Amino acid sequence: MSDSPEVSNEPVNNGLNTKLTSELKGIQNEKERAQEISVKEVTAKDLLELDRIMPFGPKNYHQERLKMQQDGKSVYLIARNGTELAGHAELILGGPKESEVKESLSDIPEINGAEVRPEMQSNGIGTQIILAAEQAAREKGYKQICLGVSEKNPRARALYERLGYTARNLPRRSVTTQSGEQFSVEYLVKDL
């Protein structure tokens, strides 16, 4: 009788296989998740959920944005990952009201308040929201679109630049928060 180990036809499972399988599953899940993202205009039915799950910003934030949309001044977009609320942004149709850029960007719609739930970020949802806002602007006949981004938010800026937004030497807006923090906001523009 030989001492050599029995040869098995079973696949070797040395831990690497398990790791690769779970990584492949991860990629698959990521793809499936990305395919489930939908972006639509906010309706009154979404308000309770927005207030409950994404209550960032001042009181009545979502209600006021819905009212602006109803008044024809904006398009308020909500993103869902499957059925779950994932994020929002508004497209303000009149252009930025800030004095520094009001003239240069007059009548260029502005993407404002883009926000994705922290636990759902980096899954392509922000990208889908921006693309939907651009589509809404195109459908309304606009040839350009803009947004302001804080110098303290390089990740968001990198995302916008990847999507084709560029700085056009516009004056920066200086912001001081209630807690005394100071930063500048620069407007980026994209040709549609």
Binding site for ligand COA (CB under 6 A): 30, 34, 114-116, 121-127, 149, 153, 155-156, 158-159
**Quick one: 12 or 126, whose CB is closer to ligand COA?**
126
In the complex, minimum distance from the CB of residue 12 to ligand COA, in angstroms, rounded to a whole number:
31
**Quick one: 57 or 171, whose CB is closer to ligand COA?**
57
**3-state DSSP call for residue 80?**
strand
**3-state DSSP call for residue 173?**
strand
- For residue 113, what are the CA distances in angstroms to 19, 21, 118, 153, 166? 39, 38, 14, 13, 19
**Quick one: 12 or 52, whose CB is closer to ligand COA?**
52
In the complex, minimum distance from the CB of residue 60 to ligand COA, in angstroms, rounded to a whole number:
19
In the complex, minimum distance from the CB of residue 28 to ligand COA, in angstroms, rounded to a whole number:
12
In the complex, minimum distance from the CB of residue 120 to ligand COA, in angstroms, rounded to a whole number:
7
- For residue 41, what are the CA distances in angstroms to 5, 62, 63? 65, 12, 13
Which residues make beta-bridge pairs with 111? 91, 147
